[in-house]
Amino acid sequence: MFTKILIANRGEIACRVIKTARRMGIATVAVYSDADRDALHVEMADEAVHIGPAAAAEGYLVAEKIIDACKKTGAQAVHPGYGFLSERASFCEALEKEGIVFIGPKPKAINAMGDKIESKKFASAANVSTVPGYLGVIENAEHAEKIAAEIGYPVMIKASAGGGGKGMRIAWNQAEVRDGFDRARSEAKSSFGDDRVFVEKYVVDPRHIEIQVLADAHGNVVYLGERECSIQRRNQKVAEEAPSPFLDEATRAAMGEQSVALARAVDYQSAGTVEFIVDRDRNFYFLEMNTRLQVEHPVTELITGIDLVEQMIRVAAGEKLPFAQKDIKLNGWAVESRIYAEDPYRNFLPSIGRLTRYRPPQEGKAGNAIVRNDTGVFEGAEISMYYDPMIAKLCTWAPARAEAVEAMGEALDGFVVDGIEHNVPFLSALMKHPRWREGRLSTGFIAEEYPDGFAPVMPDESQRATLAAIALSASLIEANRRETFADRLRSATDPLRDHWCVRLGDDYIDVRLLDGLVTVPFEMEMDIAGETLNVVTDWRPGEPVWRGKVGKQPVTAQLRPILNGVRLDWQGLSVKSKVLTPRHAELDRLMPVKLPPDTSKLLLCPMPGLVVSIAVTVGQEVKAGETLAIVEAMKMENVLRAERDLVVGVINAKPGESLAVDAVIMEFA
């Protein structure tokens, strides 16, 4: 077994590998760029080596710098994580030449399966069912248009060396093929250093289901069940689960056996994932094989009890797998939510900045469930524009799917992240979505259920009562605390007011206190809109999470102070609240509403990013839908289009310039 390994990655996956290596008694070496000097993975590792500037192409993607770090520290092996150099055969070969072990498959398998074009050719030759498409390299946009017309729309344009949704576009017509081809090539070049793309038929209403395989150097190969990864946005996974609520035993076995056969055909060694598109009739088509550890591997670990990182390390050290296929049992259900630094209320645009507060839910047992949080950040850390926007991967396990989903909802409600925008509200709403809870999924789920983007969820009548109870209990506890201050000019002498009005957004809710005292723990009966509810909590002023019961319902919600009130976040809801006396509520209703400024004649930068190109000139007439500018953030290019016909008046930005959110890119006449 190795005594020291280097992790050629960053963020949560680097931390994840370090945890297993530490448990195995193996010393670890981290590498870091200028932007990651104070990152968590650097602090966790036994040693750390600086490898260059913030841009990935100048550090994490430079094989020579990784090898040099191995030589400096005496690392015997390299775990690549995912992304960066994890699927680059040349990196694996370069390590082998230096006598350093690559913790992953051999170059033969990476070459055969790591390249999407070659893997499809290989799968076709092995009689594996594949999606119709053109597997050759496409030279230009005209060639792409011709192929797309022959295959039939819609088509998927994909980077050959792609992954994580990068370099991928769906085209529904000829015009979108040309634009998609250019964008896919550009993203592929910047993310992977390889601009080759191919085109295949896009299967409408598909599910994305993948099989985890594990193989050693002694010919032993097993599959560890499947993962359902159909909840995607812009072809990037958002929530995953294992097993799939859609597969039956026969389909699972067929997909697993086919995956094992494919792994054997390329002499696969290590952990790998065979991805399939599954249609509504459970027909499955080989999509690609990822010759690395997947982001969503924790859900498989939770239902099998197998540490995939440990097995990768043991296989790389020459050990045999300690189990056979008959030993693999799927136990319970696991769900994963990817916590991203992105604004769900602004079409999930990236958000960067400092984490002024980061309080994930406590890991471990939670009733019948288990909570796990894989993360690479800490309170005070900075989310950089240079890398992937993932903050954490929150996972829950329970004996049944409904329990795992319920546990995930509660864990998300208690996941406190401040300082940046994040997608926790969306994920919380997803856990309550009827279609998700029923397991009726497809890769088009988000586009179909949120066609106009994700908007703040409006509370129904029962939710309004719960929110009013939380707001009033917090206000009473806070006021009671103030009464104990020794230096107050005077203390309250009047009895506790029994009639209150809670404003939630634009709603005013009457609340009457029926029985109980203001204490901590707090317990009081309230009449809210004609319903009697017993409210219990041990919340204390200053705590960001309110936990307790409203009626018989356990509630976990977040409280954030605002002017004269608190903002309540719960189950995807985000509501501003004020606790008022009836007279104050009467006057509050008369207050004028401040209207937002008119920005219809401005193109604002929707997120912090780098201007890739400006597609118009001053005085140019532009039609609705035409491209105005392209801004890159967190390895994704975002095309900004005209929302209506207009004339360009002033251009304030130029290519290569870094812009803050809401910076004015151009003004219209």
Q: What is the pLDDT of residue 208?
A: 96
In total, the chain counts a number of residues equal to 669
Domain range annotation of the chain: 4-103, 132-201, 339-426, 461-483+495-588, 602-668
Contact at 8 Å (CB) between 556 and 414? yes
Does 493 have pLDDT greater than 70? Answer: no
When pLDDT is averaged across residues 497-517 and rounded to a whole number, the result is 93
Compute how many other C-beta atoms are within 10 angstroms of the C-beta atom of residue 624. 10
Q: How far apart are CA 375 and CA 66, in angstroms?
A: 23
| pLDDT of amino acid 137 | 76
The angle formed by the CA atoms of residues 254, 259 and 265, to the nearest 5 degrees, is 125
> What average pLDDT does this structure show over 302-316?
98
Task: Please report, for residues 109, 246, 467, 559, the alpha-carbon distance to residue 156 in angstroms, rounded to integers and kept in the order given.
Answer: 25, 24, 44, 43
Is residue 165 scored above 80 in pLDDT? no
The residue whose two tokens read 């506890």 is: 477
Q: What does pLDDT average to over the chain? A: 92
Q: What is the mean pLDDT of residues 524-544?
A: 95
Quick one: CATH architecture of 4-103? 3-Layer(aba) Sandwich (3.40)
In angstroms, the CA 9 to CA 387 distance is: 11
The class of domain 461-483+495-588 in CATH terms is alpha beta
For the segment 392-445, what is each residue's pLDDT rounded down to a tens digit?
Answer: 999 999 999 999 999 999 999 999 999 999 999 999 999 999 999 999 999 999
Give the per-residue pLDDT at 164: 62
Distance CA 354, CA 477 (A): 31
Short-list 12, 35, 160, CA closest to 81: 12
Find the range with the poorest average confidence among 146-155, 329-338, 352-361, 484-493.
Answer: 484-493
How many angstroms separate the first and last alpha carbons of the chain? 69
The torsion defined by the Cα of 260, 262, 266 and 267, in degrees rounded to 10, comes to 10
Place 490 in a pLDDT band, splitting at 50, 70 and 90: low
* Domain spanning 132-201, CATH class: alpha beta
Which of 54-58, 344-348, 437-441, 544-548 is predicted with the least confidence, judged by mean pLDDT? 344-348
Q: How far apart are CA 315 and CA 178, in angstroms?
A: 44
Q: Looking at the predicted structure, is the pLDDT value of residue 494 above 70?
A: no
Phi-psi region of 440 (alpha: psi -120 to 50; beta: other; left: phi over 0): beta
Q: Kindly write down the DSSP assignment for every residue of 132-173, as one continuous string.
A: -EE-SPP-SHHHHHHHHHHH-SSEEEEEEEEETTEEEEEESS
- The pLDDT, as a whole number, for residue 594 is 83
Task: Give the DSSP H/E element, type plus range, for residue 182.
Answer: helix 174-192
pLDDT in tens, 376-392: 999 999 998 888 889 99
Sign of the torsion angle spanned by Cα atoms 374, 376, 378, 380: negative
State pLDDT tens for residues 318-329.
Answer: 999 999 999 999
pLDDT over 80 (residue 86): yes
Extended beta strands in 243-348, E state: 270-278, 284-290, 333-340, 342-343
Strands 27-33 and 4-7: parallel
How would residue 163 be classed by pLDDT, with cut points 50, 70 and 90?
A: low
Catalytic-labelled residue, pool 187, 240, 288, 478: 288
Identify the pLDDT of residue 638: 85
Res. 635: pLDDT tops 80: no
For position 166, what pLDDT does the model report?
74
Percent of the chain with pLDDT over 70: 98
The yes-or-no answer on residue 47 being catalytic is no
Measured between alpha carbons, how far is 286 from 278 in angstroms, rounded to an integer? 9
The predicted model scores a pTM of 0.84
pLDDT at 517: 83
Q: Give the model's pLDDT for residue 661.
A: 86
Q: How confident is the model at residue 516 (pLDDT cuts 50, 70, 90)?
A: confident
Across-strand partners of 513? Answer: 526
Has residue 131 got a pLDDT over 70?
yes
To which H or E segment does residue 59 belong? Answer: none
Per-residue pLDDT tens over the stretch 602-634: 999 988 888 999 999 999 999 998 999 999 877
Confidence of residue 81 (pLDDT cuts 50, 70, 90): very high
pLDDT score, position 501: 97
pLDDT of residue 89 exceeding 70, the answer is: yes
Q: Which residue has the tokens 């189950």?
A: 571
| CATH architecture of the domain with residue range 602-668 | Beta Barrel (2.40)
At residue 133, the pLDDT reads 80
